[in-house]
A = this chain, B = another copy of it.
Amino acid sequence: MHPIKISGIGQTAFGELWDKSLSDLCQEAVEKALADAKIGIEDIDQVFVGNMLGGETSQQSHLGALIADLFGLSIPSVRIEGACASGGLAVYHAVQSLLSGQSKTVLVLGVEKMTDFCAEKIGSLLMQAAAEEERTAEATFPSLYALMAQAHMAEFGTSREQLALASVLAHHNALQNPLAQFQKKITVSDVLASASVADPLRLLDCSPITDGAAALILQKRDHTPVDNEACIIAQTCATDRLGLAERKTITGLKATQQSSQKIFAAANIKPNQVDIAEIHDCFSIAAIMAVEDIGFCQKGTGGQYIEDIVTGKKNSLSLNPSGGLKACGHPVGATGVKQIAEVALQLQGRAADRQQKNLKYGLTHNVGGTGATCTMHLLTNSLKDFHSR
């Protein structure tokens, strides 16, 4: 595909932002992205909003029109929803819009306002993303991912400590991210001592409930050489059964595996060429499955792979430098957009204290539900081989 340039990036703080409404979050992220791109709102010709729960948590759906309203726009503006993959899907369809020629400069906004509700109510609303039989059985996302963790531990010997290390890594990385929800170092002992949520998952295995927004300005990349650029060079999306009971295995996500195979084939690179990745670590077990399903390591070795990163035995891949969903926070519709924002900032060399070195290829991995939707984006700052088709 024709490379798509990240022209502007804006992000609010992620956290419990009780003084900010859904509209406030939208406005802040968009204004930051426009300023970053050094363009005005009048330069935008289409808007894509990734959001899951605006109707339920803020009594506001029709978020495409809300953004038009906030900024006085009259252009096409739409909400894209695919549960926790809403943000990545918004980028996916924004890119298709650019490739179609029906737009030249698009704004993608991911946003979620979640903390005004008690966690139990939010947990129930999030189950709208799951299968009916899971919802009516009163399963929750922690309980569903706990089943995957149990299966993974039984089949591959993944240890309880390895699960904890995924959270330790996330919190370690978030220390350098001023926009992250948690700026707090944790240890394996902290994770193991935290309250049990759904065995074997404990509180510190779970990503939090978060308010936040992230915005991107996207354009087709032209032939003018630019320093420190970041471009999307491939994108994929795959789906799977909604419910775990309908899948052949629950020790991995088929949608991630398929999305991954396709994206590396499309970009003609191998997983081990990826220098930096933002993966969907909604739970510690999700991070372990993701590194396997993406192809960073063999199936069953994800626990060891993450352990090796934490202990410094493996430094080739920078994993979730933002802090991931676990520590940067997980405002559902914003997450997929933030992942691309983070990878782009890193590739552009603008990631401040958490800047990683020697980067060429970056990957984002955004999952909806327990893996019924997966969307991935591959970015690079090195387009030597680029020729427009």
A contact set with B: CB distance below 8 Å: 1, 23, 52-56, 59-66, 68-69, 73-83, 89, 92-93, 95-102, 125, 127-132, 135, 236-243, 246, 254-255, 258, 368-369, 372-373, 375
CB < 8 Å neighbour of A372 from B23, B56, B68: B68
Quick one: which of B96, B101, B129 contacts A102, CB cutoff 8 A?
Answer: B96
- Which residues of chain B are within 8 angstroms of A93 by Cβ–Cβ distance? 78, 93, 96-97
User: Inside 8 A of A56's CB, which chain B residues have their CB?
Assistant: 55-56
A96 CB contacts on chain B under 8 angstroms: 93, 96-97, 100, 102
Q: Copy number in this complex?
A: 2
- Residues A373 and B62 in contact in the complex (CB < 8 Å), given A74-B258, A78-B80: yes
The CA-CA distance from A96 to B76 in the complex, in Å, is 12
- Taking CB atoms, residues of chain B closer than 8 Å to A62 are 81-83, 128-130, 242, 368-369, 372-373
- A89–B49 Cα distance when bound, in Å, is 13
Closest 8 CB pairs of A and B: A68-B239, A76-B237, A99-B100, A65-B372, A96-B100, A62-B83, A61-B128, A100-B100
Q: Which B residues are in CB contact (< 8 Å) with A89?
A: 64, 78
Min Cβ gap A156→B in Å is: 24
**Nearest chain B CB to A293 CB, angstrom units:** 14
- Could you tell me if B83 and A82 are in contact, using CB atoms closer than 8 angstroms? no
Known A1-B102, A55-B56, A100-B100; judge A74-B255 contact (CB<8 A). Answer: yes
With A96-B102, A246-B69, A258-B74: A59-B239 Cβ-Cβ less than 8 Å: no
A60 to B56: give the CA distance in the assembly, Å.
Answer: 12
A65-B368, A78-B92 known; 7 other A-B pairs, CB under 8 Å? A62-B82, A75-B239, A76-B92, A76-B238, A77-B373, A93-B93, A99-B101
CA distance A254 to B375 in the complex (A): 36
When the two chains form their complex, are residues B77 and A239 in contact, meaning their CB atoms are under 8 A apart?
yes
Cβ contacts under 8 Å, A63 to chain B = 81
Bound-state CA distance A125–B59 (Å) is 8
Residues of B within 8 A of A61 (CB): 52, 81, 83, 128-129
Residues of B within 8 A of A131 (CB): 69
CB distance from A177 to the nearest CB of B (A): 29
Q: How close is A365's CB to chain B, nearest CB, in angstroms?
A: 15
Which chain B residue has the least Cβ–Cβ distance from A258?
B74
A175 to chain B, nearest CB (A): 33
Chain B contacts for A68, CB-based, 8 A: 239-242, 372-373
With a cutoff of 8 Å between Cβ atoms, the chain B residues found around residue A55 in the complex are 53, 55-56, 125, 128
By a CB distance below 8 angstroms, the chain B residues around A65 are 82-83, 129, 239-240, 242, 368-369, 372-373
**Residue from B54, B135, B242 in contact with A69 in the complex, judged by beta carbons closer than 8 Å:** B242
A selection of 24 A-B contacts at a CB cut-off of 8 Å is A1-B101, A54-B128, A55-B56, A59-B135, A62-B128, A63-B81, A64-B81, A64-B82, A64-B89, A65-B129, A65-B239, A65-B373, A68-B239, A69-B243, A69-B246, A74-B254, A77-B82, A77-B237, A78-B80, A78-B81, A78-B92, A78-B93, A78-B237, A98-B100
Q: A254 to B132: give the CA distance in the assembly, Å.
A: 41
CA distance A212 to B131 in the complex (A): 21
B residues within 8 A CB of A258? 74
Chain B residues, Cβ within 8 Å of A81: 61-64, 78-81
